[in-house]
Structure 1
């Protein structure tokens, strides 16, 4: 449990808050005392959801459904308010620890205790389903171990069977590694989905590892949909039942009643493995002995139907925020030639420092420094600003150790409100835990590593479309312009991980919507001659290269050229390098960076960059410019006095930059890429990659082709 932060309320709905139990995409959960003195877990929904009347109606309906639950193995909803400024609900507080923490501390459980745990959780799901609900997020973190047995908690994304969910079908909602194949595909789910998740939880409890492995979310989802679970180490007497729970098709899984018969009755005596009973008791004692703290800075609690009158300073900041949002809808916030007098009659404006971290000896990082400097200058020339910006740079020397050390120096300075991670895959991931520990938002502009897939659990935000979603611009070109009858994904197993995202995107997630899709695997270190000759016999077949090594992509391109294949060839930015640029003439490439000089939507930026630096802006300069603008957008929010709140403000306040729209999906916290998500299409010509179009403008290429 964390202490309350200065921006937290002291009370909500008459409940006195004591500490933070956790936070997620939907809101914050507090430990609180009710007006009658009882301990409760009180969840406050984030205000961006509260602005949607439809959300309030769904929240009210699903809260009422959850309140029907009277199961011994769930935690009852005590009270709620769907009409408050920030909707909230309070459940009984059960002292204990999550199953996820217990497994991390003590490892796998013996067979008998796994069976007993399964009996209680199956009984809990039986009651949930009888109440007309589907939990949809059964995972170890949502299983609370109490002295008298487990509790299934957190119905934040539960929904009524057959009713409209908090998100529409087509959205993936839940926790990768524990959600069902139908959830992974974004389809409608029912009680069998919870059975699948229960099987994952029990397999993890029995073996100490998730049945579909670890790693990036996309890789885990792929294995969930396509591969068999890893049940090695599951006790023989449990294996058939768990394997049945993990069937790919919902109809092939056992019913809850069958599971209840299989697991038998819950036995309270010795249901926890050795060591855990004492830990559970100690955890309970710590919480119940807590004193009620002094009021926080927000002692009047903003979560009321009538918020307190804002101070003059908050009105100024709110006005600035509204102004930035209004400008973002039509044109970018950087209006060239706009100027004003710094400060005001009341004295100088407050200062907010943004730091940029990268290998300062490289041209690509220097381009980002210049782009960021230009954004700072333009911000400080605004007459309506409510704070001044400053830019600080730090050299990570291109290494993980250098990145961690430099990040530690930056976050130690309280005037630093955000860090721009401008470095490479080798360096940026090492800055993530450092910034997270300090509560400082790390904005990642360029790095595209699977090590950054878990940034939704940190204080970081990926500001770019990543390889996790595949080569978006190239796939869109195939869908709306080329429209091949057949596409072959050449998966280079030399660096299999780099190519997996592309393979998953077109096979599991159905990104490629035209023609037939096949995958041709090329063993690590071997040549592409055989694949190329096979493709040459079908010149209309499109080729999509799945791999990240420029030399290997060059070998593939040369083999296709030698074999006489003249069809479509495409890949992503990671293969761009001298060997490939020489051999890959005519290839189409999807990137996460624009060409400001060639893109009509960034020409004003390019002109200002040339005026200031006497040269054309290189790749990534505009993206770093946007990173500063996006940070300034968040800092204009009323809670900007606390740097720890910046990420939350950015998450809830979409913004249109010059390179893309910054908007994040509330559950996964990934950049939304369907609309202006920051993909750009290039074509290799004369030894260089030439900008062709933004992702959203590719449809115009189809019109030109038919005209």
Structure 2
């Protein structure tokens, strides 16, 4: 347990907080005293999730179901508040030791204790399923070892039976290594999924290692879906049951009643292996003499039952931040576009300002600013417009701090109706919470980072296809044109996070439709010689590189060339740095930006850009042009003239731009990447990347 932090509240819902038990993606779990003096584990959900009305409804429904769950082997939900600013729930606090920690300290369990553990956890699942729930996250960390037996805890992602999994492209709810194949694929799950997870937990407890190995999440998920588990060392009498639990097909797994029969009764007298009872008792004793904590820094700011509305005080704070950031800032932080074309015989129109936020010293942001100005001029030249547009640019200096400061100034300017986030992965995420707090819509053109995966609970929209959906154009080219008999996915663990989604999409989700697929993991910092030599006997094998480091991709390209590989080689736009462009001749690349100077569908824009700026439009200029047009589309809709409602209006109706069709999935609120979803195919030649085709045109016969 950790001490309370200065930003933690002193109390929540009448519960006095004592310390932190843990923190995760959904929120923070505190040890607390209830108003009646009982110890509770109180989980406070992060406020960004609470901004989604659908989340509150699910949270309310699931806590109500969980509160009806009465089982010796689970921890009861005592009370909850789904309507608080930060929803919370309190469960009984059971002092003990997580199974994950016990395995790390004491290793595998003997067969007798393993069997009795299985009996208790199977009984817990029986009660969970009888209550109409599926746990969905059965893993060693969620099995608490108490003196009188184990408890299955943390129903944080439990869902009512039959509910559909909420996943974005390539995302998985659950813990890789313990979730079922159907859960790994993002499909609807039921009680058999929990049986699979229980089999993983018991196999890990028996052998001391996860049955599908370790490493990057994508590799573990691939083995879960496609390969047999490593069950070496299982006790002979339990091996058939656990193998059956780990069957790939849900219908082939034993039912929970069958498991109860196989495991037998819980043996309370000697259920823990030698050495663990003393450790569990010591852990339980630590809570008895805890002092009453000192009030934290936020003790005078109570949790309220309703989300806070924008206030005058917030606007003044934002304005003050703007003043501080402007001192010594060098050049002015805005520039105005020229005013609209006058309308004969009519009065002036209201003006809606759109801001563009990015590092104005860089060529790519300057190109976006130019594209945006062309869109503003095109809008203001329309005779049937109902408002004029103006463009303001704000410099984030390429840093997170600069982005947050500039965003605060834009928030304080009430004439700004939307912000185009033209910056990088470093800067743009810092603007998201600032804009969300004020309800200002942030339209993100080129940033592509996992830090933006929660945009569906913010005021932001990502206007591009992201690596979360994989290298779409390269996969389509492989499926429609190359059609390789064998593809090797080179998973570079030096950038494991950057390549994980692609590996999962190609293997688990099966978006590569032709031939066989193999994954070759390259250890962090290791070379690619072994992978290249492995391909020497099959030089026509297709290679798909996953990861986003240009130098690493260049090393892979050189190793393949040296080995005599002559098959297809592909990757995504993140590897297009100078080291790779020098070594990657002949590679095919999927991007989220078009080449407006070459793409036939952007000829009119390219001509206007050349006329205005005396140069060909570079990448991302057309995407910024579309961002302004898309914002204007939303502002023109009924209710779109209120900046807090602009995002909702944009999601309501698809819009066709010059680079792609803007249509968003209803749950994930990610750009739909099917027809005209904004993928483009390039080929590396002569030290540069040459535009080849849009996603929709790949594989089509030329007339």
TM-score where L is the length of structure 1: 0.63
Quick one: distance in 2 between partners of 1:198 and 1:604? 60
Kept in 1, the 8 Å contact 2:173–2:183? The answer is no
Native 8 Å contact 2:357 2:419 kept in 1 = yes
Aligned CA distance change for structure 1 residues 375 and 196 (closer, same or farther; 3 Å): farther
Counterpart contact for 1:137–1:157, Cα < 8 Å:
no
CA contact (8 A) 1:72 1:124 kept: no
CA distance in structure 2 between the aligned counterparts of 1:551 and 1:120, rounded to whole angstroms: 50
Structure 2, unpaired ranges of 5+:
1-11, 13-47, 71-78, 99-116, 139-152, 202-210, 230-240, 267-286, 293-300, 309-339
User: Do the aligned residues in 1 keep the contact of 2:399 with 2:427 (CA within 8 Å)?
Assistant: yes
The 1:223/1:390 distance shift into structure 2, 3 A limit, reads: farther
Give the equivalent residue in structure 2 for 1:541: 541
- Cα distance, 1:627 vs. partner? 1.1
Structure 1 alignment gaps of length 5 or more: 2-19, 32-40, 44-66, 75-93, 129-133, 140-149, 202-210, 230-240, 265-272, 279-285, 294-338
* Secondary structure, counterpart of 1:511 in structure 2: coil
The higher radius of gyration belongs to 2
Match of 1:573 in 2: 573
Are the structure 2 counterparts of residues 343 and 171 from structure 1 closer, same or farther at C-alpha, using a change threshold of 3 Å?
farther
Shift of 1:366: 0.3
Q: Please name the residue that 1:584 is paired with.
A: 584
Following superposition, the deviation at residue 464 of structure 1 comes to 1.0
Give the 3-state SS of the residue equivalent to 2:699 in structure 1. helix
Counterpart contact for 1:22–1:29, Cα < 8 Å: no
Identify which range, 415-424 or 356-365, moves more after superposition: 415-424
Corresponding residue for 1:126? 130
Q: Secondary structure at the match of 1:699?
A: coil
Q: Deviations over 1:497-528 (max 9, x none)?
A: 22222222211111111111122223333332
Aligned to 1:685: 685
- In 2, Cα distance between the equivalents of 1:521 and 1:152? 34
Are residues 194 and 171 of structure 1, via their aligned partners in 2, closer, same or farther at CA, if it must alter by over 3 Å?
farther
TM-score (norm 2): 0.63
- From the superposition, tell whether residues 217 and 462 of structure 1 become closer, same or farther in structure 2 (CA, over 3 Å): farther
Partner in structure 2 of residue 659 of structure 1: 659
Q: Deviations over 1:250-302 (max 9, x none)?
A: 357674667999999xxxxxxxx999xx9xxxxxxx99x989x9xxxxxxxxx
Does the Cα contact within 8 Å between 1:137 and 1:174 map onto a contact in 2?
no
Deviation string for 1:406-434 (max 9, x for gaps)? 11111122222221111111111111221
Q: Is the 8 A contact 1:422 1:446 kept in 2?
A: yes
1:96 alignment partner, one of 45, 69, 81 = 81
Q: CA contact under 8 A between 1:401 and 1:430: conserved in structure 2?
A: yes
Query: Does the CA contact (< 8 Å) of 1:446 and 1:620 recur in 2?
Result: yes
Query: What does residue range 138-537 of structure 1 map to in structure 2 within 5 Å?
Result: 159=162, 175=173, 181-187=181-187, 189-193=189-193, 250-251=250-251, 255=255, 341-342=342-343, 345=346, 347-537=347-537
Q: Is the alpha carbon distance of 1:222 and 1:645 closer, same or farther for their aligned partners in structure 2, counting shifts above 3 Å?
A: farther
Per the TM alignment, residue 477 of structure 1 is displaced from its structure 2 partner at its CA by 0.6
Checking the alignment, whether the CA contact within 8 Å between 1:157 and 1:166 is kept in structure 2 is no
Q: Which residue of 1 aligns with 2:675?
A: 675
Deviations 1:438-489 (A, max 9, x none): 2222111111112222222222221111112221111111111011111112
Could you report, residue by residue, the CA deviation over 1:611-666 in whole angstroms, capped at 9, with x for unpaired residues?
22111110000111111111122222222233222222222222111111111111
Displacement after TM superposition at 1:675 (Å): 1.6
State whether residues 136 and 158 of structure 1, in contact with CA within 8 Å, keep that contact through their aligned partners in structure 2.
no
